[in-house]
Chains A and B, each alone.
Chain A
Amino acid sequence: MREIKASTITELVAEMCQEANLYLGEDVVDALKKALLEEESPAGKEVLKQILENVDIARSEQIPICQDTGFAVFFVEWGQEVHLTGGSLEEAINEGVRKGYREGYLRKSIVSDPLERINTGDNTPAVIHTILVPGDKVKITFAPKGGGSENMSAVKMLKPSDGVEGVVDFVVNHVRESGSNPCPPIVVGVGIGGTFEKVALLAKKALLRPLGQPHPKPFYANLEQRLLREINNLGIGPQGFGGRVTALAVHIETFPAHIASLPAAVNINCHVARHVERVI
């Protein structure tokens, strides 16, 4: 059986925390450049120019892209042939977050209790989603999530008879109501199916897909395009100043549903759509 030390995970996580907050992925940068070409509104263009310049400054001067360096969210696919030594996975990741956020001068945005609201001072605990998979590899995905866009998220238990139109109405209306709050241009993660908790996770997972990579099923790839068109027809535009580009992409993830249910979820990400991945 392959062994991985907890300290290896910690080091890796610390690196990922810094990397994600300093370097925006090429997929997002390309989408932003394309948006600048497509945007018609002068104010919207100006916003996109500032956003692209910001990405360059963050990279060259090592200043976090956004001051909200997020809740530390991890997706771990753990190969069942791998044995972790020297500590628990949860503690190894949390220690990595502590180190990464301290050494990277990243913001500590987590309070220990949702109502008492005292800052934990080290940005822990992380939110960790782990699944066991076949094989002897471990894949860790880190996607820090800002509060502004996370707050603009919703789950709705639709009726099966609401169908595809019900899902479209829910998603488009939700984006309309969110307006300028989630720092448009946004990336829209949509979950359809499963249960109440599963659909929220689907919507979040949808945000991990490289931007612009369509859903493998043509039906859902078309639905993504339709949603993107309808969202961009809202006219919210970059930062809500009015314009053509409200969303850079819409990604859908689905799961089988109960005969009585049609759950749908929207998880909005801002243009600072951070996600890094490592395989060990």
Chain B
Amino acid sequence: MTVKHLQTPLSDEDVLGLKAGDSVLISGVIYTARDAAHKKLAELIERGEPLPIDLKGQVIYYVGPTPAKPGQVIGSAGPTTSGRMDKYTPLLLKEGMKACIGKGLRNAAVKEALKKYKGVYLAAVGGAGALLSKRIISSEVVAYPELGTEAIYRLEVKDFPATVINDAYGNDLYEEGIKAYAR
């Protein structure tokens, strides 16, 4: 398996160079958002108001970490189920988001939007929060601190491991994987 290195923010070329099944190592700044933050971002977009973060070229990580202990950058920080964000993802892609990281199935509207706006859906290993936390080198809350674990964090990551599930060409690793191994 070849591993591709990605430096954020991502360009259309970065995205178009990825295929479902590719392993990637991401470095640079990414932002976190889960259900509550997505709802707030979507409301702002719909009202045409400015967002607390610029989504152009950005990578959004669906995560609600455990609290950091004193001296730790962040606590355990693995992906949460992405399907809960399906309702909002096309809107965020339209605003320029290039990739999102989570785990689990996406709906047809998200897959269509990934093609239309040139984006990718990546999965990190669900339940590997301790390992993934070691690839996060800085963390700060940039919006909605009142949401606690659901706040938007700006994370700096180094070689954060993920796998391309849905690419910008309509391929889906979850479907291909099952086809290859079902019997």
Contact = CB atoms under 8 A, between A and B. Distances in A.
A233 B180 CA distance: 11
Query: A-side binding surface: helix, strand, loop or mixed?
Result: loop
Interface in A167-191: 179-181, 183
Interface in B122-156: 123, 125-134, 148-149
Contacts of A107: 64-67, 75-76, 149
A105 interface: yes
Interface stretch (B6-14, B92-100, B107-115, B169-177): B169-177
A51 interface: yes
A106 to B, nearest CB: 6
A51 B177 contact: no
Interface string A60-83: 011111111100000000000000
B43 to A, nearest CB: 16
Interface string A34-48: 000000111100110
Contacts of B105: 179-181, 240
Nearest to B36: A117
Interface in A227-262: 233-237, 239-244
Contacts of A270: 126-127
Shortest Cβ-Cβ A-B pairs, 8 listed: A242-B177, A235-B182, A235-B181, A183-B126, A181-B104, A63-B130, A64-B76, A54-B131
Interface of B: 1, 21, 23, 63-69, 72, 75-78, 80-81, 83, 103-105, 123, 125-134, 148-149, 161, 163, 173-174, 176-183
Given A241-B173, A242-B179, A242-B181, 11 more contacts: A43-B173, A63-B75, A63-B130, A63-B133, A67-B66, A67-B77, A68-B129, A69-B76, A106-B66, A236-B178, A270-B126
